Amino acid sequence: MGGLDGTVELSPVAQAPDDEVVDRLVEYYRRGNGEHEDWAAFRQSMVDDRRLVATFVANLGHRHPP
């Protein structure tokens, strides 16, 4: 059975519609869903919801003995 080992890095909480965290959330949304119908509303909701970005950083994969 395989597994992953790593850490999760958390960004700061979104503070303003034009901050770096919201830019990363927009990029993440675009990769999965394409264009949003109202980017201004999306950006504001990321701030209102106090969203952040969690990034998993993998170390080497490993196998557990059977």
Computed on alpha carbons and rounded to an integer, the radius of gyration of the chain in Å comes to: 16
* Average pLDDT over every residue of 30-50: 98
> If pLDDT is split at 50, 70 and 90, which confidence band does 48 have?
very high
Mean model confidence pLDDT for the chain: 91
* pLDDT tens figures, 22-35: 999 999 999 999 99
Helix residue spans in 1-66 (DSSP H): 20-33, 39-48
Q: Which residues contact 35 (CB under 8 A, 6 or more apart)?
A: none
Tell me which of 57 and 29 has the higher pLDDT: 29
pLDDT band at 61 (very low <50, low <70, confident <90, very high): low
